[in-house]
């Protein structure tokens, strides 16, 4: 049977949390979980409304990676391992956690895009990674630049999110 997150919503939820739960229910469909394809469609629809962010769009590979990380017990940021059900899809709590991180990382991305070009240059990336909670040694930083940046060392938004 389909999961009904609204039926189990905590009485202590804020209006914002209740609204987020309603939006999730509309996006997730009958199974009340978001698949990598659904996540890709959601993120690309939202990101297309942000003209100040340069992006090629989120790929299915990056969305599969995000789902895998959020849907595994390795993700200790969720209160208990039982909240991660390893279904290959994101339930409400997993999606909410990912969404809040993406919003936070978007703010960091915009802050470190000092020249407002829509991309972060390699000279701006070290600070952006550190602000996102990922201080990197020089060797790891160079590997990430080679993998996720263009030939000029610039990183667009979806690649920034994808490497975090």
Helices (H), 11-137: 15-28, 36-47, 60-70, 92-112, 122-131
> What is the CA 24 to chain-centroid distance, rounded?
15
User: Under 8 Å CB-to-CB from 70, ≥6 apart: which residues?
Assistant: 84, 90, 94, 95, 97, 98
The rounded distance, in Å, linking the Cα atoms of 147 and 153 is: 10
- Domains in the chain, start-ordered, CATH in brackets? 15-163 (1.10.238.10)
**pTM score of the predicted model:** 0.78
What is the pLDDT tens value at each position of the chain, 164 positions in all?
Answer: 444 445 555 567 788 788 888 888 888 888 899 999 999 998 888 888 887 888 888 999 999 988 988 877 544 454 444 455 678 899 888 888 898 899 999 999 999 998 888 999 999 999 999 999 999 999 999 999 999 999 999 999 999 998 88
For residue 121, what are its two tokens?
Answer: 């240059």
């Amino acid at each position: 049977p389909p999961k009904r997150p609204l039926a189990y919503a905590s009485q202590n939820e804020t209006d914002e949390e209740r609204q987020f739960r309603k939006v999730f229910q509309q996006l997730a469909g009958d199974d009340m979980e978001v698949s990598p394809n659904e996540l890709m469609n959601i993120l690309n629809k939202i990101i297309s409304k942000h003209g100040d962010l340069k992006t090629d769009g989120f790929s299915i590979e990056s969305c599969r990676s995000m789902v895998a990380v959020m849907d595994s017990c390795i993700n200790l940021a969720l209160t208990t391992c039982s909240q991660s059900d390893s279904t290959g899809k994101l339930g409400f709590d997993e999606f909410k956690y990912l969404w809040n991180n993406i919003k936070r990382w978007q703010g960091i991305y915009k802050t470190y895009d000092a020249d407002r070009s829509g991309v972060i240059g390699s000279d701006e990336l070290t600070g952006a990674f550190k602000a996102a909670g990922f201080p990197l040694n020089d060797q790891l930083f160079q590997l990430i630049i080679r993998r996720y940046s263009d030939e000029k060392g610039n990183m667009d938004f979806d690649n920034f999110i994808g490497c975090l």
